[in-house]
Each structure stands twice: as C-alpha cells, then as structure tokens.
Structure 1
Amino acid sequence: MRPNQKTVAAVCLAALLPIFAGGCTLAPKYVQPKPPLPSDWTSGTGAKAEAGTTMRDWRNVIADEPTKRLVELALANNRDLRVAALNIVAAQAQYQIQRADLLPKIDATAGANMNRTPAKLSSSGKAVTSRTYSVGLGFSSFELDLFGRIQSLKDEALETFLATEASRRSVELSLVAEVATAYMTLAADREQLALAQEILETEQASYEIVRQRHEFGVANDLELAQAQTTVDTARVQRAKYEAQVTQDENALAVLVGMPLGPELLPAKSLAEITPPTPVPAGLPSEVLTRRPDVLAAEHQLKAANADIGAARARYFPSIGITSSVGFASSQVNDLFNSPAGAWSFVPQLTLPIFHTGAIRAGVKYSEAQRDIMVAQYEMTVQTAFKEVSDALALTASLEEQVKAQGSLVAASGKSYELSTLRYENGVDSYLTKLDSQRSYADSRQALIAARLSRLANTLTLYKALGGGWDSPEALAAEKAAEEKRTADQ
C-alpha cells in the first residue's frame, strides 16, 4: 500500500509541474500593424516633426482656473465616466476569474450515504441498512494547461481589461475637452446675449427717433415700418440667446454631474476666460500611438490574437484530473481514525478525433476576428491622423478668420456711423442706414463665434492628439499597468 501512495504522489507532482512552470501558448507572435501614414502632418503648417516633443498634461493645457474647477468636478461626478470606471472593475474581475483557472480549485467536502436493501434482495434474507460517512479535501476536473489553452484565454481577458482601461481614459479625455468647450460656449452665448441686448436698446432708441421724425412729417411710413422691423428682429435675437444660455448651463450641469451655481460659472464673455495653452510645434505623428482609443484598439487586437491560441489548443489532447484525500467510515465515531484514511486520483485524457470540422472552423473564425481587429486598428489610427490634420489645418485658418473678422467689425462700425450721420442730415435713405446697421450687428456676432471656434479648436487638437497623458500620475499608472501585465504573464 505504501509504495502505491508514493507512486500516486509522484504522478500528482509530475502532473502539476506545468502549472508552476508556466505553459506555453499556440497563439501567433504578435506584430504591431503599421498603417500607411506619413511621418508628418498633412496640415501645411510647415512645422518639422521632432521625436523628443511630448504632450502636456491637461492641467497645464487649461490655464483658466474656473474651467479647471469644472473639469475636476466632472471627473469626480460625471455618470458616463463612472460607467467607464465600473466597466474596468467588471473587466478586471473577469480577468481574475480566467486567471484562476490556471490553478486547481480545492474544496472541502463532507457527506453521508445511506442505503437500505430489502430482505428479498439481501443475501442474508434480512433487510440491511448500510451507512457511509466521509470528509475530505480535493479538486475536480482540473485541466492541465499543457498546450496553453487556458493561458491564451487568460491573455485574452487581460488584453480586454487593458482595452477597457484605455477606453476609460478616452472617455476622460473627451470629458475634459467637452467641459472646457461647453464653458467657453456658455461664455460666448452670454456675450452674444449682452450684444443682443445692446443692439435692442440701440434699435429702440433709433426707432424713437424715427417715430418722432414721422410725427413731424420728416420720415414716411416706410421708414417707420423699417425701424419697427429692426426692433422686432433684435427682440427675437435676445430671446433666442436667453434660451441658449439656459440650455448651455443645463448641458454643462449634465457634464459636470451636479447643479452649478453662479460662483462656478463666473465668465460673462470669452475675454474673461484664459485661453488654452497652444499646442507645441514639431509633434511627430507617433504621438498617436498613445491616444487612448488607439491603445484600446491595439489591446483588442492582442486579445483576438490570443484567442487564436486557445482555438488552436483544441486540436491537442486535454488532461483533466479529479483528486481527493480524506477519511471514510461506516461509523461517525471511527471517521478520523487512521484506518479510515481514503484517497482517490482520477486522471482523464481526452483526444479529439472527429469533430466534423468544428475545431478547424473555430480556428478560422478566430483568425478572421484577428484580421477584423487589424483593419479596425488601422482605421482607428488613420481616423486619428485625419482628425489631427484637420485641426491643425483649422488652426491657421481660424487665426486668420479672427483677424479678418475683427477688421470687418471695425469697418462695418465706421460704415454704420457714417450712414447714420448721412441719414440724419438727409443725404441717404433709411434703408442704407438699416443695411449698414445690420451688417455691423452681424459682424460683431460673427466675431464672437470665430473667437469661440479658435479656442475650441485648440481643445479639439489636444483631444485628437490624445494629449494630456504625460503627467507624472499618468506615466506612473501606465508603468504600473505594464509591470502588472508582465508579472501576470
């Protein structure tokens, strides 16, 4: 009996060695795709790419203190970001579940088995009642990962977890840009509302002058009606921006995740908001590889690559082990006596022979999924490149638009001033004054919109570049995640 126990122990030890040695996988070697992209941006800016140039953290990009407070509140309270964080927790738990399959699950068991044999079936001619009690420790149906199937599934779960984490960073990056842009939009619409109120007061004063001239017979009915249209148009614009400001406040409250008081929204115009820090010149296109959605797409590709290894492993034999050690007795009192010791060791080998092509089809499916992820990764990189190039192209254009619009405001203001004098002196008709007056109002409104677009484009560019992740906290988190991944493998 004793030699048999040693033999069983040796067999168990030999079978468990692959667990601690770390099984290899049949997954293909991962090679990062190289999308066909130029090394520099197609923006026409002329900035030469420099490999050492990096992105700033968003806290250094957003220089306005009220905007920073809003962003911090949004990062703490936004529901979309909270859902993304909970998705990470779920993906991490799924990875831990998959990793646990590499080790046997040991359970403690206790049971009783009672049987009664009737007299007609008993060899003694009397009814017999038998009882068996048992306690023990053991594991059941544990698979030895000789060909890396479980290891591949664990790698797939790990990459899915990392993809979820990168997706959360993408949500966070978008949230930072959206909050800052929403606050700038609110300030711009408040400025538009103040301008609409100013125009309304000017038009009302102008209408009173025309009305008095009409009473004295100097102005005709047409001029009075035209003056009334300008007042009504100004009232419509004021009402429009009153509603727009309220909608902006509501949208910002949703992004931040809490009601916002006036103390958190102090800016009444764009001039009161410190503009974002300009994007550093000479950024190479390689910075896109750190963009969160690109990282997520690459982790999804790696997960699909690992799944091929799990599919290929089904071609090979699988070894399952059920084992237990404990005590068994027909009497509870004798259960823990030494003669009551019991053990079992049940290895099982399963070799696939005929599966009607299911395993081969499973491998083809996994390879097709990997190819799909390659295409999606390349499309993600190309889309990111396009977004950056578009934002860079707009940078110079919007700067020129703001300058030209400012010049147009000055010119239309001078035209309005002169046409008003000419009308009051009877040189020009009221229609000429009205045209110049409308042009002046439209140009001032367009200037506010152009300034907003210029500021928002800076944030759009940082978002498109995936910027804001070179802070010490972000680098430390990225390094820790990489070290954890290496340790788990």
Structure 2
Amino acid sequence: MQFAVKTSVIAVFAALATSACTLGPSGAPPAMPSPAHYGAQPQSLQTVAAGGTAQHFDAGATAAPQWWTLYRSDALDALVEEGLRNNPTLAATQRSLNAAQQELRAQIGASTLPSVDAGAEAERTRSPVVPGIGPNTERYNVFAGQLQAQYNFDLFGAVRYGNKASAARVDVQAYELEAARRALAANIVGTAIRAAALDRQIALTEHLVTLAGDTARDDAQRQALGSVSHAQALGSARQAAALAALLPPLRQQRASTVHALAVLLGRTPDATPAVPDLDSLSLPEHVPVAVPAQLLRSRPDIQAAEAAVQAAAADVGEATAQLFPNLSLTASMGRAGFGWPALLSGAGGIWAIGASVSQPIFHGGALLAHRRATKEAYEAAVLHYKSTVLSAFGNVADSLAALDNDAQTLASTESEARAAQQLFDETTSRYRLGSLPISAAQASEQQFLTARLDAVRAQSQRLGDTAALFQAMGELPQEPAKSASRE
C-alpha cells in the first residue's frame, strides 16, 4: 500500500517535471460566444414614440456611472444618494471587504517575508538534591535574551499560489460590493417609481369611486321615481362597491412600498421619505447598450465569477506545490548567563543557525485527493462563469425587449386615453346642452379615468424597466476593483 502511494507521488512529480506548464491552470476565463445581438431578433435602434419620447439605444456606448441622474429629478437623486450613504447592508459589505483586504495584507506579509521575534527570560532555579554528592541544594539564576528569525523558501510556489487565491477571493468581494451598490441604486429608483405611480393610481381611483357613488345615488333616486329599473340601480350600486374595494389594496401596496423605501435608505418605517411626483420623472431618451464584449468587463457579477475562476486555478497550483519539498531556514542570536556579569561578558554570546527540508511521502492519499478536489472545484468555477455570462446576456435581452414592448403598450394606452377624453368632452357638452342625462356624462368620465389608470401603469412600467436596463448594462470601471485588494 505504502509502495503504491509512493509510486503515485513519484509519477506526479515526473509528469510535472516534464511538463512545460505551470503547476496550475492559467486562471483565464473561458472563451464565450459573442452574439451579433442579444435577443432572438436584432434590436431596433429606437422604440416607438410614447409619452412624447422615443428611446434611442446607443450601441457600444458606456453606461453613465450615476445613471439615475438621467431621470432629471432632484428628489430621486437625493433618495439614491441617501441610500448609498446610509444603507446598513451596503455599509456592512464594505466593512467586510475592508477586513478581507487587511487579512490579505497580513497573509502576504507573514508568508513572503522573514519572521523576526525577540525573547527574554529570567529564571531562578533550584537543582535536585542528590544524597552524598555535592551540596544539599544548589540555587542559581538564568538570564537570556535573543532574536529569532525564520524564513520559508517558496521553492515551488505554494505560498505564491495561496496568496494569489486569497487575493482573487478578495477581488470577488470587491465586485460583489459593486454589484450590491448598483442593485441598491436600482431598487431605490424602482421603489420610488412604484410609489409615485401608486400615488397617481390612488388619486384616480378615489375620483372613480366618487363618480360611481354619485351615479349609484342618482340611479337610486331615479329608480324611486320610476325612471330607471331596479336592476340598473342595483348595477350602479354594485359597481360603486367594486370600485371602492380597489382602494384598500392600493393603499396597502403604497404603504408597503414606502416602508420598503425607508428601509433601503437606512431609515425606520415610521420615517418614510417624500416620494417624487410621477410627472417630475423624465424618461431617459438615450440608453447605452454595451456590446457583448464590453458586457463581460462592465458587469460586476461576471467580473466576480472571473475572479472566482482565478482563485480556483491558484488553489490547484497550491495543492500541486504541496507535493514538493519544503525548505525553511532558522537563525537566532543573543546573550545568556547565570548572572548579569556573565550575561554581559564576552562569554555570554549565543547563536544558532539551521535549515530543514521536508518532503511529503505518505499522508494517506490526502494530498493527491486534495489536488483532485481543487481541480474539480476549478472546473465548477469555469462552468459557473459560463452560466453567469449567459444569464447576463439573457438579462439584457429581456430588458431591451421590455422597453420596446413598454413603449408600444404606453402608446396604445395613451391613444385610448385620448379617445376616452374626447368622448368625455363631447358627452359633457351634450349633457350641458340637455341632450344627454348626467349618467351618460358620468359613465364617459369613468371610462376616461380608467384609461388614464392604464396609461399610468404603462408609464411607470417603462420608467422602471429603464432602470433595470441601466443596472443590466453594468459600468466600465475607471480602475479595476481588484487593484485595491492587491496593494
């Protein structure tokens, strides 16, 4: 059994010695396809005009670092800035990254530089009593002080690979922090948009409820006079109750939304912020669309997956280097004596120097199994990188398609609202002339308000999906995040 393990170790050494490769994979991410366009169909250069704006997709443009400012709302800018400054989860992630960077500096310093320690000793000693030999007791003092130094030579790169793996994992945390920052900004913008849209929906629904209540009361009076049927009066009462039932869920959604917004900002739910008016939010007209090659460098989740591949590759190198000999050097110098005069005299000098070499021979197959495990972990990291890239492509494709469809939906709802408004204006004019009853004017106004509700939903969906696309595009950093972890 032992002979078989030794033979396996020797075979590994021979293969590595004859190979022109390093002890581990290069850590370069796998090549990924570069699609001509993200979705199933080529992306159009712009959407249809809706809400007075046709959004343009600027292919190859670099995303704006503070993209939320493109909504041109000071209130929204203030919310995002407060959240980025005060959100405790984001702050905790930053602190965790700072701690990891300091631990990395400690690891690099301890593993690549010699360690030097100073020691001092003062001792009062009594020797054992041997009957018939010498005096009955012997008491004496021992004083010693010395410097000790130790250095491990990284002959086969085990330390270097280990430090490289740790640095790459710190890079993963740095990219995850950037992803969390961008996700927080997008969540704040999306939540503020939903709250603003709910405010508008609640106001329109309250108007609808008022109109329906007026119609129900009018029909009840007319039914009492015999001018309308009992069925029509009951129908009006049913519609008024159904519309009134829509208000509590809308108000609950609004309350939950502003509570969530307060928490995102680092506030307690009782300190909800002021929500910007929906009409104060301008839709960004130009939306940058990174080409696939740029997306690989701008998305922090892809960059984190790439850093994880580098860490896994370094783990393979470290596990392989641990199969080779280890050389360490120790040295010490100082002074010692049984008294202060002896300690300070020339005879009190002491020193030592030595070297040690260790070669793994038999560890129950643990070293080879660990190396095989790191290779499997590396392959898993490569596959995870591929999955992350494909998911990012799908995320962008969905966001682009959503904006195109949002614009068409908004254009249709606006057309419906305009037609409903014209009908309401004509019906109101005829009612004032006495050719139509008030119930007809009320019914046309209800149709107009319902069409406006649909347009508000479509408008808020378009604003929110624009924020989602900005987040999906990522941001090309001016300085790679990994530089901070390699100081």
TM-score by length of 2: 0.83
State the Cα deviation string for residues 133-178 of structure 1 (Å, max 9, x = none): 11111135x4221111111111111111111011000000111111
| Distance (whole Å) between structure 2 residues aligned to residue 304 and residue 121 of structure 1 | 67
Residue 301 of structure 1 aligns with an amino acid whose one-letter code is V
Q: Name 1:328's counterpart in structure 2.
A: 336
| Distance (whole Å) between structure 2 residues aligned to residue 366 and residue 321 of structure 1 | 29
Q: Name 2:168's counterpart in structure 1.
A: 159
| Distance (whole Å) between structure 2 residues aligned to residue 122 and residue 200 of structure 1 | 115
Q: Following superposition of structure 1 onto structure 2, how do residues 127-206 of structure 1 map, counting pairs within 5 Å?
A: 127-140=137-150, 142-206=151-215
C-alpha distance 350-382 of structure 1, shift in aligned 2 (>3 A): same
Residue 92 of structure 2 aligns with an amino acid whose one-letter code is V
2:259–2:270 Cα contact (<8 Å) kept: no
C-alpha distance 371-121 of structure 1, shift in aligned 2 (>3 A): farther
| Distance (whole Å) between structure 1 residues aligned to residue 422 and residue 132 of structure 2 | 120
Q: Name 2:86's counterpart in structure 1.
A: 77
| Distance (whole Å) between structure 2 residues aligned to residue 51 and residue 231 of structure 1 | 50
Q: Name 1:120's counterpart in structure 2.
A: 130
State the Cα deviation string for residues 63-115 of structure 1 (Å, max 9, x = none): 32111111100000012211210120121122112202211221110113444
C-alpha distance 411-483 of structure 1, shift in aligned 2 (>3 A): closer
1:318–1:351 Cα contact (<8 Å) kept: yes
Q: Name 1:304's counterpart in structure 2.
A: 312
| Distance (whole Å) between structure 1 residues aligned to residue 407 and residue 72 of structure 2 | 20
Q: Any idea what SS the aligned residue of 1:394 has? A: helix
1:276–1:459 Cα contact (<8 Å) kept: no
**Identity across matched positions, percent:** 24
1:122–1:128 Cα contact (<8 Å) kept: no
| Distance (whole Å) between structure 2 residues aligned to residue 391 and residue 54 of structure 1 | 17
State the Cα deviation string for residues 12-45 of structure 1 (Å, max 9, x = none): xxxxxxxxxxxx9733323221123414322532
2:28–2:309 Cα contact (<8 Å) kept: no
2:27–2:309 Cα contact (<8 Å) kept: no
C-alpha RMSD of the superposition: 3.2
| Distance (whole Å) between structure 2 residues aligned to residue 51 and residue 213 of structure 1 | 63
Q: Following superposition of structure 1 onto structure 2, how do residues 15-164 of structure 1 map, counting pairs within 5 Å?
A: 26-42=23-39, 43-47=41-45, 53-59=61-67, 60-100=69-109, 101-120=111-130, 123-124=133-134, 126-140=136-150, 142-164=151-173
Farther off after superposition, 363-372 or 116-125: 116-125
State the Cα deviation string for residues 239-284 of structure 1 (Å, max 9, x = none): 222222222211110111125999952533x222222353135x31
Asked if residue 392 in structure 1 is aligned to residue 397 in structure 2, the reply is: no
Number of aligned positions between the proteins: 450
Q: Name 1:286's counterpart in structure 2.
A: 293
State the Cα deviation string for residues 174-230 of structure 1 (Å, max 9, x = none): 111111111111100000010011111211221222122122111222222211122
Q: Any idea what SS the aligned residue of 2:286 has? A: coil
1:94–1:157 Cα contact (<8 Å) kept: no
State the Cα deviation string for residues 260-312 of structure 1 (Å, max 9, x = none): 999952533x222222353135x311121121111111111101111111101
Farther off after superposition, 117-126 or 104-113: 117-126
| Distance (whole Å) between structure 1 residues aligned to residue 28 and residue 106 of structure 2 | 27
Residue 363 of structure 2 aligns with an amino acid whose one-letter code is H
Q: Any idea what SS the aligned residue of 2:79 has? A: helix
2:335–2:344 Cα contact (<8 Å) kept: yes
| Distance (whole Å) between structure 1 residues aligned to residue 157 and residue 80 of structure 2 | 45
State the Cα deviation string for residues 363-418 of structure 1 (Å, max 9, x = none): 11111111110001111010000000111111211101101111223345566778
Residue 280 of structure 2 aligns with an amino acid whose one-letter code is E
Asked if residue 219 in structure 1 is aligned to residue 228 in structure 2, the reply is: yes
| Distance (whole Å) between structure 2 residues aligned to residue 123 and residue 343 of structure 1 | 33
Asked if residue 455 in structure 1 is aligned to residue 459 in structure 2, the reply is: no
1:25–1:148 Cα contact (<8 Å) kept: no
Residue 403 of structure 1 aligns with an amino acid whose one-letter code is A
| Post-superposition offset of 1:482 | 3.5
Asked if residue 446 in structure 1 is aligned to residue 454 in structure 2, the reply is: yes
Residue 122 of structure 2 aligns with an amino acid whose one-letter code is A
Residue 288 of structure 1 aligns with an amino acid whose one-letter code is L
Residue 178 of structure 1 aligns with an amino acid whose one-letter code is N
C-alpha distance 40-448 of structure 1, shift in aligned 2 (>3 A): same
| Distance (whole Å) between structure 2 residues aligned to residue 353 and residue 340 of structure 1 | 42
| Post-superposition offset of 1:317 | 0.7
Q: Name 2:347's counterpart in structure 1.
A: 339
| Distance (whole Å) between structure 2 residues aligned to residue 213 and residue 435 of structure 1 | 16
Q: Any idea what SS the aligned residue of 1:355 has? A: coil
1:64–1:276 Cα contact (<8 Å) kept: no
Q: Name 2:217's counterpart in structure 1.
A: 208
Note the residue ranges of structure 1 that are not aligned, 5 or more in a row.
1-23
Q: Any idea what SS the aligned residue of 2:119 has? A: strand
Q: Name 1:19's counterpart in structure 2.
A: none
Q: Any idea what SS the aligned residue of 1:478 has? A: coil
| Distance (whole Å) between structure 1 residues aligned to residue 461 and residue 252 of structure 2 | 21
| Post-superposition offset of 1:47 | 4.7
| Post-superposition offset of 1:345 | 1.6
TM-score by length of 1: 0.83
Match of 1:478 among 454, 477, 480: 480
Asked if residue 230 in structure 1 is aligned to residue 232 in structure 2, the reply is: no
Farther off after superposition, 118-127 or 442-451: 118-127
1:81–1:168 Cα contact (<8 Å) kept: yes
| Distance (whole Å) between structure 2 residues aligned to residue 280 and residue 179 of structure 1 | 20
Q: Name 1:6's counterpart in structure 2.
A: none
